[in-house]
Structure 1
Amino acid sequence: MNNTQSVQALFKPFAFGNLTLPNRIVMAPMTRQFSTDGVPGQDVAAYYRRRAENGVGLIVTEGTVINHPDSSNQANVPHFYGEAALNGWSSVVSAVHEVGGRIIPQIWHMGARGNVGDYSESEIASIVQAFAQAAFEAKQLGFDGIELHGAHGYLIDQFFWEKTNPRTDSYGGDMLARTRFAVEVIEACRRAVGPEFPIVLRISQWKPNDYTAKLAETPALLQQFLTPLVDAGVDIFHCSTRRFWEPEFEGSDLNLAGWVKKLTGRPTITVGSVGLDSDFTSLFTEGKGAGNFKIDGLIEKLEHEEFDLVAVGRALLVDPAWVNKIRDGRAAELIPFTSEAVKTLY
């Protein structure tokens, strides 16, 4: 594999419905807590604009919380409700679109204070409606779609996982029942935005307190889990893993994004430690990287359409021009991800 081929794989356009992207690189959502009292300011707009004007194909914003008392316990995580916060997001959308970028908000609820069994059915209904209202606002503000955060132990994922969902009613029990809350959220969001507005769902097997956890131990169980989510209206799955190169199940080289695409036919985004080590940058330096399994594997999987998009997180956090530097073969200019560099968060 040569450098040109690798760049071509990452920089092919991607189209799905009304969403057209210039390349396959997605900015992964990363919580920054720079929105004072939940309101994103001009610094937030400038932060996203810098990534858009430097070639990111699709920006997924940091997590933005819905209008529910438990949705966040962090004062400076941005809201996706209220006039001030929505005006702030309007400025973000304008800033990104002015330079030709595409952007979707990640909409989340950070989780029940105890467990999901503490919520009555009437409160669940109000949370579902809060998600739908946020989706409606996103479309009104001109965003290019939405992402629902259903991973990493946050609220939707708390309903998914049997260890955090002790409910014995129709929202708990077997795997199919544990998808009911997510299905209701997705269906409500779909009604709010109509049939053509892209809905992305971020999922993960791992949990913050258990990196080896699996919602589904086998491909058959994974398909059982995914089918109601597809039927509810998910367009694209954002499949979060810690290391994109690790196979999801024994006996197959497919990672989680590969399996989800195989089982659903939906486009998928792979993510997990892309661009964080010197081995990655060496691929884009002449004469190096030919034998690197991890990165050669990423490009090969992308070329074979095992997944469709590649999300990059911390590398883009410290280097707004990461995409253009990779495209132009300027690996030597990349800003390394270090604890000192991340303090800038610019």
Structure 2
Amino acid sequence: MSKLFDQGKIGNHILSNRYIVAPMTRVSAEEDGTPNERMHKYYERFAKGGFAAVITEGVYPDTMHSQAYRYQGGLATEKHATAWAPIVKSVKEHGALMIAQLMHGGAQTQGNYYTDETVAPSKFSPPSDKVEVYYGSGPFPTAKALTVEEMKQVREGFVQSALFAQQADFSGVELHGANGYLLDEFLSEVSNHREDEYGGSVLNRVRFLKEIIADVRKAVGDTMMLGIRISQLKATNGSYKWPGGEEDAKIIFSELGKTSVDYIHISDDDASTPGFGEGTKTMAEAAKHYSNKPIITCGDLGDPKKASQVLEKDQADFIGIARQALANPDTPKRVQNEQPLDEFNGKEVMTPQAYVKDFELNYEEE
């Protein structure tokens, strides 16, 4: 398992090992999205636990339509940026890099401080109900289709949020293009029925993501990491697969490979299994093969032997840990010291309230 503890490089940044905390929705901010001390302790603990980098929960980038959940953290205002700065400082002081994941909720929005209206590439309503643990209930409303002018405003929101991240001294930003949120809605034929240059072919549907990447890179320059998260599965449809299988993957990842992103972050239910049917590449393997970018992969990789095998097979470059990190915020230190890992118990740690209580009881600094 030594490869898990080799140094790695993304863009201009050196990571001390291959373990990265993957984004996890925590809905623990203040009502207006301002980060608080509870969040400070939450993120700081992962850095103390030996992770090379910590990616935030999806944070919303603008005060229009992007917020997806009540109490979701924001990076849309000067106030938000100022509140994030000491959290970032603490994480970095303990040896980890910190990346802000910028997420627009799109049609999967179930709570917004600023508006009740939701937007998507086309008129669309997600297929399952809202998630009660994240303060939602009942069916999602039908989102209205974005105009080209409104899409420009979305792009500007991502740019401004990336600049706020830079102001707060984040090491990088990750665009959330996965799991059924707005950017993924553009990518998917289920939610994108547009008849302009952003709809139709896979090549057209990836266009909006590429434009945002270009805009953000131009704004933040070359020193800040820029990544994008991609998945097939949706938060409201876990069984969804790209209809073109690996051929779709080839187009999507090849196009992303032409952009200035420093890495691609794959989200899958099991990152070690074929992504497009029996005998095919894993999602991460396809991303690495077609994009030639560093790859973070996430999905049921809590077992360090399994995670190590993914690296040894050169299917990915970094391992994203989510639920395992909630159960063991010091996963890297435990693995390196050959200590056992606690099993994940969703009832204990999945709700923000329960996890904060558990965190305070068990994870105080020694």
TM-score, normalised via structure 1 length: 0.88
AA aligned opposite 1:116: P
Contact 1:318/1:344, CA 8 A, preserved across alignment: no
Counterpart in the other structure of 2:332? 323
Q: Map 1:80-159 onto structure 2 (within 5 A).
A: 80-112=75-107, 113=118, 115-117=120-122, 118-159=145-186
Q: How far is the alpha carbon of 1:307 from its aligned partner?
A: 0.8
Contact 1:203/1:237, CA 8 A, preserved across alignment: yes
Contact 2:228/2:263, CA 8 A, preserved across alignment: yes
Gaps of 5+ in 2: 108-117, 123-144, 360-366
Counterpart of 2:229 in 1: which secondary structure? strand
Q: How far is the alpha carbon of 1:217 from its aligned partner?
A: 2.7
Identity %: 31
How far apart, in 1, do the equivalents of 2:329 and 2:248 lie? 39
Counterpart of 1:103 in 2: which secondary structure? strand
- Structure 1 residues 223 and 73 mapped into 2: Cα distance closer, same or farther (>3 Å)? closer
Q: Deviations over 1:239-284 (max 9, x none)?
A: 1100122112346463111111011111111111222xxxx37x5x
Q: Map 1:90-239 onto structure 2 (within 5 A).
A: 90-112=85-107, 113=118, 115-117=120-122, 118-215=145-242, 217-239=244-266
Counterpart of 2:57 in 1: which secondary structure? strand
Query: As a proportion of its length, which structure holds more helix?
Result: 1
Q: How far is the alpha carbon of 1:10 from its aligned partner?
A: 0.8
43, 49, 52: which one aligns with 1:54: 49
- Whether 1:70 and 2:75 are equivalent positions in the alignment is no
TM-score, normalised via structure 2 length: 0.83
AA aligned opposite 2:333: N
- Structure 1 residues 83 and 98 mapped into 2: Cα distance closer, same or farther (>3 Å)? same
Contact 1:59/1:102, CA 8 A, preserved across alignment: yes
Counterpart in the other structure of 2:344? 337
Contact 2:11/2:262, CA 8 A, preserved across alignment: no
How far apart, in 1, do the equivalents of 2:220 and 2:279 lie? 37
Q: How far is the alpha carbon of 1:125 from its aligned partner?
A: 0.2
How far apart, in 1, do the equivalents of 2:240 and 2:291 lie? 22
Gaps of 5+ in 1: 1-5, 284-294
- Whether 1:19 and 2:13 are equivalent positions in the alignment is yes
How far apart, in 1, do the equivalents of 2:192 and 2:233 lie? 16
Aligned residues: 320
Q: Deviations over 1:146-192 (max 9, x none)?
A: 11100010000000001101111111111111112111111110111
Contact 2:101/2:173, CA 8 A, preserved across alignment: yes
How far apart, in 2, do the equivalents of 1:59 and 1:311 lie? 9
Counterpart of 1:266 in 2: which secondary structure? coil
